[in-house]
Structure 1
Amino acid sequence: MRIISHSAMWLIVISLLNGCFFSGQERQRWTLADQGTTSIALSRDARFALLYSKEKHLQLWDLSSSELLTQLGIQDPERNIISTIRFSDNGRFAVTATQTNFAVWDLAWSQSSGLWSVSDGLITDIAISNNGEEVLLGLTNGKAIFIDLVSGRRLEFLAHVEKVNSVSISPNGRYALTGGNDHNAYFWSTESGQILHHFPHKQRIRTVTLQRDGHLALTSDSGNHAIIWNLSSGKQQAQLKSWSRQLIFSSARFSDDGKLLVTGSPAARVSLWNTNSGERIESFEVELLKSISPPRAVVYDAAFDNNQHVVSAASSGVIQAWNSELNYE
């Protein structure tokens, strides 16, 4: 009887916790690709979405008016699948990448600024600065490459000894954060290549991101260690708290003021975190892609709109805006 009583108690506790974690309600949705998408990104203010699908190729949407702004088409003559899309912080430019090439887009003019090929490794991740002139690449050969597309200046960052999984660049293009399979993340200068901070982990680093003002950074590994760092001191500010054995992210973004962090997972979950305490504030389950078995979805991106609502974009081709009953302050 005591065992049964304890089991019942744990079931009640788990149910209450799940109710807390998944209490958010959807406030709006946009279905942009019925058959799903291989990549989708949101602008920082969650007004614009850029996505790629095999059926309709590359499309730019204005979510505030639910309007398709333009069909950008294919990236290269071979019609390679676009696997990564990133907006610049100001939303003016975007970069799209296959495994072997990348294109920069001036979204104000709805046209490509050029197509560049990469020959010494496959592209794992990419980021772009505000002026659309600098990009940062992560490659399978362990290199992180900073390129000034106007001057042609190229800086190879060689501190990683295994595949680079995730990269992030400051809006002004002067600083980079990279993380890889060698269990290390580095915050470094794109002007000199000098390492400014080293963030070691015990497992492979899957996701890194910078807060737009340069105050904070997130490094997250393939276990359950996701750490927020103070970049002024290089010291840990908080570790995200979770009961899960694994805390794997497919996307991460700080709020503009750095008080909040929103993360997406490969398992259809969006979570909101307090960056000072590391506590999870709330979580949401995104729409699954039902045309595959079993139905599933990867959260490719998440952002905060101008009202601080969380907006998520998933491989199901569905973007969702979420309400929350909690006060985030």
Structure 2
Amino acid sequence: MIMFKAQLFRASLLFVLVSCVLSGCTIPETTPVAQWRHVKDGAYAADISADGQLIVASGVTNGINVWRLGNDEPVYHWAQQGEGENLVIAVHIAADKSHVVTADREAFALWSMATGEPLGFWRIDESTIRDVAVASGGRGVLVARSSGQVMYFEPESQRRLEFLGHTEKVNSIDISPNGKYALSGGNDYTAYLWNTDTGQIIHTFTHPSRVTKVALDDQGRYAFTADSQDKSQIWDVQTGEPVSQLQYIARQKIFTDAVFSKEGDFLLTGSPSRRVFLWDVKTGEKIDAWEVAVRESVSPPTAVVYAVGFPRDGFILTTSSSGLTEQWERRNE
């Protein structure tokens, strides 16, 4: 009987260890130091400004709201489709916070942060919109489409360039603050860094599966590309060479947002399963982790982390599908 119990214990322990390897285990309980309700009934999309002081969130029932961190009332309330149902699924704030671009599946709009007024509304007829990004000063807008094309568009001059490097659906894009460089990743297992003046490819980053998330460092040092399986890579944008690969055991890790810290030491990522991770850029090692509040109206209760940011030294910020923006203390630097 004693031997049987020992064998049973060892079998149970092995099951727990295998489960941890497959699922990545749970994150120790974390509690935000501050929390704000920015969307009433859950969010479709959100973004946090580079300095962590501005949040734009697209709500299921209350349109698009612009918030300054810590304020109890929104700065602006926008409705891209008029007063009907809000269908905005992509939001991006320019690095200098001067403009915001929002998009549903068929059209995108550019907004001025100085006045809160729309500067233009453009419909895409060829294929559905997958992602959008805007450069500082609103000088250029990037639009990813399900056709595999990425459009670069300059609102003031109306200049339009179609990037045709991808052969399948584009999932994620980012743009440099000056609008000169774009990063795009798609179902063709490839991410490209390319020039928006000419469409010329600067670097090609290959993956073993479809690329689901890309991000550029606003300071022009790094690029991040991640696929649908287990390759999540930080690259040197000057040389195109790898800097590090994120270190984790899980067979699959999907990211919904990725932001480099201003100093370039850290990468902060969000996921579709509540989880937020802080990574060391040079080594790819995980430094810290958090779990955001769940959206109670979904079953099972969970939340998609739409946006992450660095509001000030020692803290991080998250906005999720729960409709909450939460501030967390960094513990393990």
**TM category, shorter:** over 0.9
Q: Which residue of 2 aligns with 1:4?
A: 9
The partner residue of 2:166 within 160, 166, 170 is: 160
The partner residue of 2:147 within 123, 134, 141 is: 141
Measure how far apart 1:71 and its partner are.
1.7
Measure how far apart 1:224 and its partner are.
1.0
The partner residue of 2:240 within 203, 211, 234 is: 234
> Partner letter of residue 125 of structure 1?
D
The partner residue of 1:96 within 99, 102, 105 is: 102
Q: Which residue of 2 aligns with 1:63?
A: 69
The partner residue of 1:302 within 301, 305, 308 is: 308
Q: Which residue of 2 aligns with 1:35?
A: 41
1:86 partner SS: strand
Residue pair 1:86, 1:96 contacting (<8 A) in 2 also: yes
> Partner letter of residue 213 of structure 2?
T
The partner residue of 1:110 within 89, 105, 116 is: 116
Q: Structure 1 residues 31-40 or 162-171, which shifts more?
A: 31-40
The partner residue of 1:280 within 277, 286, 289 is: 286
Q: Distance in 1 between matches of 2:36 and 2:152?
A: 35
Q: Which residue of 2 aligns with 1:317?
A: 323
2:188 partner SS: coil
Structure 2 residue 215 is the aligned partner of structure 1 residue 209? yes
Residue pair 1:105, 1:112 contacting (<8 A) in 2 also: yes
Q: Distance in 1 between matches of 2:70 and 2:89?
A: 25
Measure how far apart 1:256 and its partner are.
1.0
Q: Which residue of 2 aligns with 1:81?
A: 87
The partner residue of 1:126 within 132, 145, 148 is: 132
Residue pair 1:23, 1:282 contacting (<8 A) in 2 also: no
Measure how far apart 1:308 and its partner are.
4.0
Q: Distance in 2 between matches of 1:170 and 1:66?
A: 32
Q: Distance in 2 between matches of 1:225 and 1:140?
A: 23
Distance 1:10 1:280, change over 3 A: farther
The percent identity for this pair of structures is: 34
Q: Distance in 1 between matches of 2:187 and 2:230?
A: 15
CA-based RMSD: 2.1
Measure how far apart 1:75 and its partner are.
3.8
Q: Which residue of 1 aligns with 2:58?
A: 52
- CA deviations on 1:277-316 (whole Å, 9 max, x unpaired) are 0001111111111012221211111001122411011011
Structure 2 residue 293 is the aligned partner of structure 1 residue 293? no
Q: Distance in 1 between matches of 2:202 and 2:50?
A: 26
Q: Distance in 1 between matches of 2:70 and 2:268?
A: 21
Structure 2 residue 202 is the aligned partner of structure 1 residue 196? yes
> Partner letter of residue 139 of structure 1?
R
Q: Which residue of 2 aligns with 1:245?
A: 251
Measure how far apart 1:8 and its partner are.
3.5
Structure 2 residue 28 is the aligned partner of structure 1 residue 22? yes
> Partner letter of residue 311 of structure 2?
D
2:126 partner SS: coil
Q: Structure 1 residues 113-122 or 65-74, which shifts more?
A: 65-74
The partner residue of 1:260 within 255, 266, 275 is: 266
- CA deviations on 1:79-138 (whole Å, 9 max, x unpaired) are 550000110011121000000000011012111111011111110001000011210111
- TM-score using structure 2 length: 0.92
Residue pair 2:32, 2:328 contacting (<8 A) in 1 also: yes
Measure how far apart 1:11 and its partner are.
4.8
Measure how far apart 1:67 and its partner are.
3.1
Residue pair 1:25, 1:324 contacting (<8 A) in 2 also: no
Q: Distance in 1 between matches of 2:287 and 2:319?
A: 19
Q: Which residue of 2 aligns with 1:151?
A: 157
Q: Structure 1 residues 136-145 or 37-46, which shifts more?
A: 37-46
- TM-score using structure 1 length: 0.93
> Partner letter of residue 254 of structure 2?
I
Report 1:171-182 matches (<5 A): 171-182=177-188
Distance 1:294 1:12, change over 3 A: closer
Residue pair 1:169, 1:210 contacting (<8 A) in 2 also: yes
Distance 1:281 1:23, change over 3 A: farther
Q: Structure 1 residues 56-65 or 163-172, which shifts more?
A: 56-65
Q: Distance in 2 between matches of 1:123 and 1:141?
A: 9
> Partner letter of residue 42 of structure 2?
G
Measure how far apart 1:65 and its partner are.
2.9
Q: Which residue of 1 aligns with 2:3?
A: none
**Structure 2 stretches lacking a partner, 5+ long:** 1-5
